[in-house]
Structure 1
Amino acid sequence: MMTPTHMLVAAGVATRRWMAGGLIAIAFFSGFLPDLPMLVMVIWARWTGFSGNMWDAPDGLYWSTPWQTAISATHSFPVWGAVFCLGLYLFYRNRGSKWALALMVLGAGAFVHSLFDFPVHTSDAHAHFWPFSNWRFISGVSYYEPQHYGNIVSKIEIVIGAAMVVLIFRRFRSWWVRGFGLFLCLPYVLELVPREWLFRLHQILF
């Protein structure tokens, strides 16, 4: 799924009404964190003037060992499961430690990100069981490839994202939480706007 959807789902799943703003921010961040290595890779490529193959297998930059290791680590069920369990252990050992609760929120949100990615990646699947295995589930369904039901999955993703925004609005009254939730819906608006409209707007502005 798109990173904004992951952030909305993480905030919906890993937060509770009584949580303060800091924990809510961690929940949003936990939905983004697994995709951080890809963002760093793109920034690095732009910064260094990299002009080679970026995404295509088998020799694209994305598929090189250092980046694949980082991406596998941040999409790993064992890694985020361990983070959540460590937070849970420390929470009960230290009688409700806020740091322990933050670890639980971080682990839960990132784990859910990986869980939602698992069934919707084809040839670009992640090694979700790293470091114990490099096995990848090659799904027949993709969240963006039309030839693998991407047109259908993208619409389902919009429904999921919208549902999470409604949940966030019902759960929190904070203006920044609600505002950020709405901001993360921007990709859905762009998805629904006809492509020719966006092209004309681009011509007018640039």
Structure 2
Amino acid sequence: MNTPAHLLIGAAVFGRGQGRRVMAAALLGALAPDASLYVMALWALHVQGIPPQVVFDELYFSPAWQSVFAVDNSFVLWGLLMTVALIRRSPVLIAFAGAALLHLATDFVLHAGDGRPQFWPLTNWVFDSPVSYWDSTHHALWVAPVVAIACCLAFWSLWRSGLGPVGVVAFGLMLAAELWTARQWILFF
């Protein structure tokens, strides 16, 4: 899924009605598995001046980049953090690790040909899902509306939980970004 979808759904599932600290943790957890991609891609594109085709068709799949993705996309590491969070009964850590695990679970089933090694350090194996959130040759035309509905429901749930005006605008912008991005994926891929 696109990052705005991860943020909306992670916030709705793990942050809704739990206060600002827990909401912030849920948002950070939902973002964490994509953070390295953003940092490395932005550096390659804007500092090194590498063309987008090279960044996303070559570097993304390179052993160096995949080894970084293996760490922040590891069910094993996030599962260990969730275990610690549950033992400590820490709502903040539970929201952080839970939103990251939810991110990984949805990515696991929605990445066809562009998945990441999610069981590091046990293995570097990558699941090649038959379903994609962006590639129409892998059912994205069916997946995109389902993700859009899930994001709308997440926004509605967050809105109903008593968000203030800033929260409504912030999550509304995330929803708009997700719907626009999903439209672009469908039109171009």
Tell me whether the two structures share a fold, i.e. TM-score over 0.5: yes
Alpha-carbon distance change, 43 to 192 in structure 1, aligned in 2, over 3 angstroms: closer
Aligned to 1:21: 20
1:193 is displaced (CA, Å) by 7.0
The answer to whether 1:106 aligns with 2:96 is yes
SS of 2:112's equivalent in the other structure is coil
Q: TM-score, normalised by structure 1?
A: 0.81
1:174 is displaced (CA, Å) by 2.4
Alignment of 1:3-152 (within 5 A): 3-17=3-17, 19-45=18-44, 46-51=46-51, 53-56=54-57, 60-91=58-89, 100-152=90-142
Preserved CA contact (<8 Å) 1:172 1:178 = no
1:159 is displaced (CA, Å) by 0.4
4+ residue stretches of structure 1 with deviation over 4 A? 191-195
Count residues in correspondence.
Answer: 183
Preserved CA contact (<8 Å) 2:85 2:91 = yes
Gapped runs of 5+ residues in structure 1? 92-99, 196-206
Aligned to 1:201: none
Alpha-carbon distance change, 5 to 90 in structure 1, aligned in 2, over 3 angstroms: same
Once the two structures are superposed, what CA deviation does each residue of 1:151-174 show, in whole Å capped at 9, x if it has no partner? 111111100100100111112332
Gapped runs of 5+ residues in structure 2? none
Alpha-carbon distance change, 134 to 6 in structure 1, aligned in 2, over 3 angstroms: same
Preserved CA contact (<8 Å) 2:4 2:178 = no
Q: 2:33 is aligned with what amino acid? A: P
1:187 is displaced (CA, Å) by 2.5
**What RMSD in Å do the two structures reach over aligned CA positions?**
2.0
Alpha-carbon distance change, 16 to 186 in structure 1, aligned in 2, over 3 angstroms: closer
Structure ranking higher in helix proportion: 2
Preserved CA contact (<8 Å) 1:26 1:105 = yes
Q: For 2:135 and 2:115, how far apart are their aligned partners in 1?
A: 13
How many percent of aligned residue pairs carry the same amino acid?
26
SS of 1:79's equivalent in the other structure is helix
Looking at CA atoms only, which structure, 1 or 2, has the larger radius of gyration? 1
